[in-house]
Amino acid sequence: LVFFNVRETIFSGSSENSIPGSYTVGVAVPLKHQSELQGVLMLFHRTKKELSEPERNVLEAVGNQIGVAVENARLYQKVKSMAERDALTGLYNRHKFFAVLDMELKRCQRYNTKCAVLLFDVDHFKDYNDTFGHLAGDECLRKVGNLIRQSIRETDTPARYGGEEFVVLVVEADATAAITVAERLRKRLEAEGQKEPLPTISVGIAVYPDDAQTTQDLLLTADNNLYAAKRLGRNRTVWRGLVQTD
């Protein structure tokens, strides 16, 4: 599409100032991929004239190439997201979480800060599945994932660790801060369970660098504390083998 007198045709008011110089003609080039519109490229020039057939062909070819590039970029982001995220909950998967945790530990080492790993396990999940069915079990895990998202800061990283286990990386956090986050989520799930059939969770905590200094050791320590939480009766938070309250 070619527009003459673009200031009057397309722009009005203060937006006229966004057109530099004395541009009077605008060309809208559709960006397409397989006949699907991906966007529009706007070009402006000062000469008031019709575009020649070769010029139109060039712009159409450019628009098609850009449309293909836009679609490829969109597909790449989609595939990348699928590779990084758990299909059921939409949280990061275990592999992506390891990568994020590795980067955070390097940042902590550089700036001499702390972080914490919270490892969650949905209590009696097998019994829940046996009682309500696997579809209800999937919905339960989705709800737990959503509650985790809602209970942490945007700077923290939640992930589905595997099966009915979840994990959260809490940045800039010592043991006190980590316990507060864990207990907030544990109590929230406990309260939700009073309204609808929903299991409680057990939580194990490990703090860098106080408890461990590597990714594997942090997760192992958190897992040991999680096991202690379950052994001590479930629906509780454990750090250094002791039940914690905020």
Which amino acid is present at 233? G
Comparing CA positions, the residue from 57, 29, 60 lying closest to residue 43 is 29
Counting Cα atoms < 13 Å in the Cβ hemisphere of 63 gives: 23
Largest Cα separation within the chain, whole Å, is 82
Catalytic residue positions, numbered: 164
For 48, the token pair is: 């008031």
Q: Is there a cis peptide before residue 209, judged by omega within 30 degrees of 0?
A: yes
DSSP string, 179-221: HHHHHHHHHHHHHHHHHSS---EEEEEEEETTT-SSHHHHHHH
From the centroid of its chain, how far is CA 45? 42
